[in-house]
Structure 1
Amino acid sequence: MSYSGYWQFWAVLAAVFAALTAIFAKVGVTDINANFATFLRTVVVVVALAILLAFTGEFKGPQNITSKSTVFIILSGLATGASWLCYFKALKIGYASQVAPVDKLSVVIVAILGSLFLGEHLSAAGWLGVGLISTGAILVAVN
């Protein structure tokens, strides 16, 4: 059975890599400025993605991108950059085991914004899960 078509497979991999990101970044920012560490990380991401796109033939020219997609991808990139800068600063001064769960409050924020602006609907159990994520992040953070 191939898992490559299941969103759950990719979501779990994202979580694993996000966890590794926290651990590697915490060690990495020990001796350098958090903003410079974020810059280096960004360069690595850009180079890795360029290699992936070249290898898979998935690079598309700008003429294939709508104005709406361009605007929202740019906004997403700016939000990512701001998130990474804040995340690395938090890792520089805090414990990875506390920073990462607080960062995952993004799950809660996405659920709320998805509901308000994208028309997404969570079940009562889904909202309970969102509440538990909030509670868990807070409990870990105040440890």
Structure 2
Amino acid sequence: MKKHLLAIVVATLFVVGCKEDSKEKEEKSAETEQTTENNKTKDLTILSGEFIYVEEQKAAVLKTNTEVYGVVLDSMATKLSKEVNSLKREDLDMVPVIIQGKIKPNPMEDGWKEVVEIKKIIKVMTPKAEPAIRVKGDKKEVK
């Protein structure tokens, strides 16, 4: 009888031990997923500034309060430019936006020192109601 009771206790401890191991594995995998997610967002920066895309030159720029970045032209930049176009009054209006992106060195020698790759469009705002400043020059005939 004591042998059977001992066998039941050992079997119970074995089952309980296995359950705790699986819980620990689940907790560790959840921690790993969370760490991976945090590492992904550590490389990303939230930027607030004015965005402009010039179709003719195939170029986009994000001007923040402290920096000016070139924008990597990908599907997210195209999506943002479409949203911005609906709010522009004139072709060269800059529209305030808030984005999440990855800042990296510009691979091209000419242009901005750093570029931003847009990962998420957080908000697109209506441009200020200030009228655009226009500069008119003299029209001189060139011979």
Structure with bigger RCO (C-alpha 8 Å, 6+ apart) = 1
* TM-score interval, smaller chain: under 0.3
Tell me the TM-score normalised to structure 1 length: 0.24
The structure with the greater share of residues assigned to strand is 2
Structure label with greater radius of gyration: 2
